[in-house]
Amino acid sequence: MIARYWVQKGFNVMHPIGWDAFGLPAENAAIKRNSDPREWTYENIAVQKASMRRYACSFDWDRTLHTCDPEYYKWNQWLFLQMYNKGLAYRKDSAVNWCPDCQTVLANEQVVAGLCERCDNAVTKKKLNQWYLKITDYADRLLDDMDQLEGNWPEKVLTMQRNWIGRSTGAEVEFKIEGRSQPITVYTTRPDTLFGATFMVVAADSALAAELASGNEVEAEFKKYLDSVKADSDIDRLATDRPKSGVFLNRFAINPVNDERIPIWASDYVLADYGTGAIMAVPAHDQRDLDFAKAMKLPIRVVIETGEADPAQSGIATSGDGKVINSGSITGLAKDEAITKITQELAGKKLGKAARNYRLRDWLISRQRFWGTPIPIIHCEKCGEVAVPENQLPVELPSAAGLDLKPKGLSPLGAASDWVNVACPKCNAPAKRDADTMDTFFDSSWYYLRYTSVDKHDVAFDKKAVETWLPVDQYVGGVTHAILHLLYSRFFTKVLHDLGHLNFTEPFTRLLNQGMVLMDGSAMSKSRGNLVRLSDELATHGVDAIRVALVFAGPPEDDIDWADVSPAGSLKFLNRAWRIAGDVTSKAGVDFKSGDLSLRKVTHKSLNDIAIAVESFRFNVCVARIMELVNATRKAIDSGCGPTDPAVREAAEAIAISLSLVAPYTAEDMWEKLGHKPAIANAGWPTVDPALLEDDAIEVVLQVNGKIIDRLEVSPSVTKDDLEKAARANEKIAAALVGADIKKVIVVAPKLVNFVI
RNA sequence: GCCCCUGUAGCCCAAUGGCAGAGGCAUGCGACUUAAAAUCGCACAAGUGUGGGUUCGACCCCCACCGGGGGCACCA
């Protein structure tokens, strides 16, 4: 509807469609049928394309692309190398999210509540050497540039992205460690509570904890604890009512603000990969620390006076603001002042500094699967990592024939010996290709750029075309992509901007989250046979009726249940509209100006309202407005000015054109019946005459104390004074005001008059 | 536990702080018909989740609570 509307308005609209076709569905299907994912994918695309054509979506089929075409993923590899050369793509060892069922690693964003986003199995951790993209370098810009999107993206999506990036501000503070030359740095958002720190906790699974325990009498106990921590799944870890556990490391740290000696503990409630993996614990003012202190019988010291109950007694850490107490130089200050002052003092002594942290982690992109873009790196024993030279791109996937695609934790590509063994591009010695493939979100992070240049084969995208078309004026997608796809795309856009390829920093100017169609409470899916049912409905009622019914069922961002969708009712409405075209007896091209004024006003008002509704995404309201216009026109034909009146033709044409957005086939037929040549899609949006939007008389409400006493017809241009006079002259009002003491008269011209007595 | 959205006739949904109803579904009645379908016409119904507050006036703004949906959830 949006695309069709702007075409009618005379804009040059690009409305492309394509297939994000790499990934597990194809690969798993191929494994099941023992065939090549390639064949399965292209067969399915053909089927789907044919069925999608039925929906009358005005897609530009000349710009179609498939991300699994070498022609497309060649540019994935090119982009990867661009980032690699800038240090934005790198490899590191780390404990990664591992799905035992899919037998591949997952990005943080793909783990939902400890479960694999795709298969809902529990995710475990595994130490692996993997490729990452340095999205954390862009954390601040991803956050701050949201100002550009404010008002044009759903607030919900912006909030979700903000939470996901999770920026926090605070300070890093150095604690000296007894018997260790290096101090330990902790990150805190509350340096104002430093004097309340009564112990330190390091992440049990960090290298730091192991080092502090090593050679220590508690080492055995620590190892036992570490083993139990490792055995816990993410789901266990995420349980909120989980009791705190940990082990004393028999080591001590010195608090830099008061030289106090505090014990160091290891626990799994501190995360190894956030901040520095070590915290100062302030049990009085942090619930987690308090829970731990109570469990381990550690001291609790209040340093903020909030008026709340004593945490040691209540078991509830105080969260309110208040004055700092018992805290040396910052005693008596308010929170913000205390934070500023103590941070400055620490910085002066080189014992700390202001710092920021993010919840966002670097994006893990390697996947141990076949059906994806090969990572264009060659591993040479002598030269190490070597980028595949640009002129050798694409690194094409080998044939799947003879490869065992079954998930087993290693890339199937590693077994394709003809493919994997190559000469090092630098020294020509025998070397191996990187056998992992890219996360498919890499593919979808820049496809909008490719749509501008599908016919260009020497560049990923043509700069001029990109400048002409982009950024995308209107993006439409499900809220399921609120973080993953939309965050990654924003990241890519910024990287490409910095590399000098783009002159904008945000890819999607406006975003509409459209809802899903539910059947019996769950999403439409092939496995439930719902698509078959939809296909039947299409055959019975026609595409137009289905389109109208879906649009009319509710606001576009809401999920709608098929039970609330009424294709039969929509068909009835379309017939009603269509018959009007047949009833018109005036000739095409007749001058509307001589037509019936009241119907003309309805027509112009409707056109105006319909345009506003479409532009503000209220498509359901838009359909309702067309229905109103149809009703009014019907009435005019049957019992008003009659079918010969030019106003009836004007109304019928307005109906046809506005209907062309949602029911294009019906509209086209109406257009021809009305004596016009195809195509109505290019007929142009009728010009609304502002003079016809004005009513000649408006009903004004007359109130006494806010209660309606009577109504009055007045001219829309009535003045306040005249309106008040008219109101006072009204019989019922006059009667109501007899003997009353009028305290106030509110006159809103031309809407109401209210006498307060 | 924290944050966000939401609550209007039997149902889906509308209403720049100013007459609660635009539209549809369902239902009922009537016209047309031998009859039915289709079509056309008419009718029907809630005082806006609950309790407060602001205002001349609140579905709309503010506070609390209840119900529904979603997000985050040891991130120091």
Q: From residues 445-464 of A, which are strand B contacts by CB within 7 A? A: none
Residue with CA nearest to B72's C1' atom: A163
In angstroms, how far is B5 C1' from A163 CA?
16
Confirm whether any atom of chain B, the nucleic acid strand, is less than 7 Å from CB of A618.
yes
Give, as one character, the DSSP assignment of residue A495: H
User: Residue A580's closest CA among A676, A679, A666?
Assistant: A666
Nucleic acid strand B: bases within 7 A of protein CB = 1, 3-5, 11-16, 18-20, 22-26, 38-41, 56-58, 70-76
Q: Which two tokens stand for residue A343?
A: 């941070």
Q: Which residues contact A91 (CB under 8 A, 6 or more apart)?
A: A129, A130, A131, A132, A385
d(Cα A658, Cα A609) in Å, to the nearest integer?
Answer: 11
Distance A728 CA to B56 C1' (A): 17
Place of tokens 């979506």: A57
Smallest Cα–C1' distance to nucleotide B15: which residue has it? A621
Percent of the residues in chain A that have a pLDDT greater than 90, as a whole number: 48
Q: How far is the CA of A159 from the C1' of B75 (A)?
A: 17
Residue A573's nearest nucleotide, by CA–C1', is B24
| Residue A33 CB in 7 A reach of strand B | no
Tens-place pLDDT, residues A121-168: 777 777 778 899 999 999 999 999 998 888 889 888 898 898 889 888
The dihedral of CA A493, A57, A547, A662: what is its sign? positive
The DSSP code sequence of A313-362 is HHS----S--EE-S-GGGTT--HHHHHHHHHHHHHHTTSEEEEEE-S---
Verify if strand B has an atom below 7 Å from the CB of A617.
no
**Rg of chain A's alpha carbons, rounded to an integer?**
34
Q: Is the CB of A109 under 7 A from strand B?
A: no
φ and ψ of A702, to 5 deg:
-105, 120
b/e sequence A130-159, b meaning 16+ C-beta within 10 Å = bbbbbbebbbebbbeebeebeebbeeebbe
Which of the residues in chain A have pLDDT under 50? none
Q: Mind listing the pLDDT tens digit for each residue in A244-266?
A: 889 999 999 999 999 999 999 99
Pick from A261, A266, A310, A320: nearest CA to A290: A310
Q: How far separated are the first and last CA of chain A, in Å rounded?
A: 52
| A235 in contact with nucleic chain B (CB within 7 A) | no
Q: A575 beta carbon < 7 A from strand B? A: yes
Provide the ipTM. Answer: 0.91
Closest CA to B11 C1' — which residue? Answer: A564
Task: Compute the half-sphere exposure of residue A754: CA atoms within 13 Å on the CB side of its CA.
Answer: 9
Long-range contacts of range A606-610, CB-CB < 8 Å, 24 or more positions apart?
A606/A632, A606/A654, A606/A658, A607/A654, A607/A658, A607/A685, A607/A686, A607/A688, A608/A688, A608/A693, A610/A658
* Contact yes or no for A292/A197 (Cβ under 8 A): no
Cβ of A270 near strand B (distance < 7 A):
yes
Establish whether the CB of A490 is closer than 7 Å to any nucleic acid atom in strand B.
no
Distance, Å, A546 CA → B29 C1' = 31
Cβ of A527 less than 7 A from strand B = no
Distance A532 CA to B44 C1' (A): 38
Q: Can you give the pLDDT at residue A493?
A: 96
Q: Is the CB of A185 under 7 A from strand B?
A: no
**Distance from C-alpha of A376 to C-alpha of A91, rounded to nearest angstrom:** 13
pTM of the model: 0.90
A163 touches strand B (CB under 7 A): yes
Give dist(CA A238, CA A258) in Å, integer.
35
Residues A686 and A699 sit within 8 Å (Cβ to Cβ): no
Of A residues 624-643, those with CB within 7 angstroms of nucleic strand B are 624-625, 627-628, 631, 634-635, 638
Number of neighbours of residue A388 by Cβ within 10 angstroms: 22
Q: Are A506 and A471 in contact (CB under 8 A)?
A: yes
Is the minimum distance from the CB of A573 to strand B below 7 Å? yes
Half-sphere exposure of A97 (CA within 13 A, CB side): 24
pLDDT tens sequence across A532-582: 677 788 888 889 999 999 999 889 988 888 877 888 889 989 999 999 898
Q: How many CB atoms lie within 10 A of CB A738?
A: 6
Return chain A residues 397..436 having CB < 7 Å to nucleic acid strand B.
Answer: none
- Work out if A555's Cβ lies within 7 angstroms of strand B: yes
Query: Vertex A133, ends A489 and A86: CA angle to 5°?
Result: 100
- Determine if strand B comes within 7 Å of the CB of A170: yes
Q: The dihedral of CA A211, A214, A217, A223: what is its sign?
A: positive
Q: Please check whether strand B approaches the CB of A222 to within 7 Å.
A: no
Closest-approach nucleotide to residue A559, Cα vs C1'? B69
Nucleotide closest in space to A746 (CA vs C1'): B56
Beta carbon of A268 within 7 Å of strand B? yes
CA to C1' distance (Å), from A538 to B38: 21
Using the structure block, give the residue that is written with the tokens 């921590």.
Answer: A229
Query: Nearest 5°: CA angle at A474, between A470 and A477?
Result: 120
Closest C1' nucleotide to A189's CA: B76
Closest CA to A90 of A80, A98, A100, A99: A80
Q: Is the CB of A160 under 7 A from strand B?
A: yes
Asked if residue A49 keeps its beta carbon closer than 7 A to nucleic acid strand B, the reply is no
Q: How far is the CA of A479 from the C1' of B63 (A)?
A: 31
| Strand B atom within 7 Å of A363 CB | no
Among A170, A544, A172, residue whose Cα is nearest residue A335: A170
Q: With a 7 Å cutoff on the CB, does A285 touch strand B? A: no
Per-residue flag: A697 CB under 7 A of strand B: no
Length of chain A: 757
